[in-house]
């Protein structure tokens, strides 16, 4: 599937600042960048590899005024949408070293608190069947309610509140998988089927000997997602991060099948 992406944003920076962007689709397994262009106003740009070597992040040194960000890309997504049910969980002692940190809790995903629940509800299942059951459970139990969470909401609150947006779904999925000792990580992505079009957060889970994309909201399949960045949770994959004041004036995200 080919996906076209177009992002237009205007930021207001009251003072010169160094900000971090994760906006560009990654050169990543299962997707090919056909064309891609990023314009960041008058910012000075440095690129570094993203977390776990996935994609690139941008440090932008911005002068203190308004900045227009314009990003356009066409991505050929070649990965198939594989049913997870049949996949096996890799035994812990065979996990690659770089996958192991994704077994652990993180800022928003206190997976250590969910072990008993996950054992109780999903303990009779294994590997991909367990993951599929978790994903289905989350889609069934949570309500997608824009505005029901904010950047501070953690997974304990999401689990109690039973509502959220894509980041909260991804957090709960990663949390449950980790509590079952299956590695999982948060993924920033563009999805052709996200309505209304927006930045999207999904997850990856390590089954068999590879990462597999999962959208706990049920909006997208693996073959309809262009991956941008991965990390332990929403903090690691934020599309923009700045300590100094920064105001988002406009944001338009368009994603379409082409």
Using DSSP's 3-state secondary structure scheme, residue 134 falls into helix
Which of these segments, 85-93, 123-131, 187-195, 213-221, binds a second copy (CB under 8 A)?
85-93
Distance CA 111, CA 96 (A): 20
44: how many CB neighbours lie within 10 A of its CB?
Answer: 11
- For residue 221, the minimal CB distance to a second copy (Å) is 26
Interaction with a second copy in 9-28: which residues (CB under 8 A)? 18, 20
Range 30-49, binding a second copy (CB under 8 A): 44, 46, 48-49
Region from 128-136, 159-167, 186-194, 213-221 binding a second copy, contact rule CB under 8 A = 159-167
Binding of a second copy by 147 (CB under 8 A): no
Residue 139 sits in the site that holds a second copy (CB under 8 A): no
For a second copy, the binding residue among 113, 125, 223, 251 (CB under 8 A) is: 113
Is residue 156 close enough to count as binding a second copy by CB under 8 A?
yes
Q: How many CB atoms lie within 10 A of CB 42?
A: 12
Distance CA 135, CA 180 (A): 13
Cα–Cα dist 142/88, whole Å: 26
C-alpha gyration radius of the chain: 18
Residue 248 found at the interface with a second copy (CB under 8 A): no
Determine the interface stretch with a second copy among 3-11, 104-112, 183-191, 203-211 (rule: CB under 8 A). Answer: 104-112
Distance CA 167, CA 217 (A): 9
* CB-based contact 149:158 (threshold 8 Å): yes
Choose, by CB under 8 A, the member of 12, 104, 124, 257 that binds a second copy.
104
| Residue 120 interacting with a second copy (CB under 8 A) | yes
In the block, residue with structure tokens 């890309």: 73
Question: Among residues 8, 10, 68, 117, which is the contact residue for a second copy, using CB under 8 A?
Answer: 117
- Give per-residue burial for 133-169: e unless 16+ CB within 10 Å, then b: bbbebbbeebeeeeebbeeebbbbebbeeebbbbbbb
Please identify which residue in 72, 235, 251, 254 interacts with a second copy, judged by CB under 8 A: 235
Q: Which residues sit at the interface with a second copy, rule CB under 8 A?
A: 18, 20, 44, 46, 48-51, 53, 57, 59, 61, 91-97, 100-101, 104-107, 110, 112-117, 120, 141, 143, 145, 148, 150, 152, 155-157, 159-163, 181, 231-232, 235-236, 243
């Amino acid at each position: 599937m080919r996906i076209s992406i177009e992002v237009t944003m205007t930021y207001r920076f009251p003072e010169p600042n160094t900000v971090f962007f994760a906006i560009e689709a990654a050169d990543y397994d299962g997707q090919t960048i056909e064309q891609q262009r990023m314009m960041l106003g008058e910012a000075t740009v440095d690129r570094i590899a993203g977390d776990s070597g996935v994609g690139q992040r941008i440090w932008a040194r911005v002068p203190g005024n308004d900045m227009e960000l314009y990003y356009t890309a066409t991505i050929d997504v070649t990965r198939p949408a594989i049913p997870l049910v049949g996949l096996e969980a890799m035994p812990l002692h065979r996990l690659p070293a770089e996958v192991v940190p994704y077994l652990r809790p993180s800022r928003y995903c206190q997976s250590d608190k969910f072990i008993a629940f996950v054992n109780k509800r999903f303990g009779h299942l294994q590997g991909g069947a367990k993951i599929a059951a978790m994903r289905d459970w989350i889609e069934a139990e949570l309500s997608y309610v824009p505005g029901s969470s904010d950047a501070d909401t953690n997974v304990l609150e999401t689990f109690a509140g039973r509502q959220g947006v894509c980041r909260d779904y991804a957090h709960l999925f990663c949390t449950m998988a980790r509590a079952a000792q299956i590695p999982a990580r948060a993924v920033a992505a563009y999805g052709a089927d996200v309505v209304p079009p927006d930045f999207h957060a999904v997850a990856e889970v390590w089954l068999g000997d590879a990462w597999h994309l999962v959208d706990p909201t049920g909006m997208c399949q693996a073959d309809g997602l262009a991956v941008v960045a991965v990390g332990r949770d929403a903090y690691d994959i934020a599309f923009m991060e700045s300590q100094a004041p920064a105001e988002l004036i406009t944001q338009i995200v368009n994603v379409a099948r082409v």
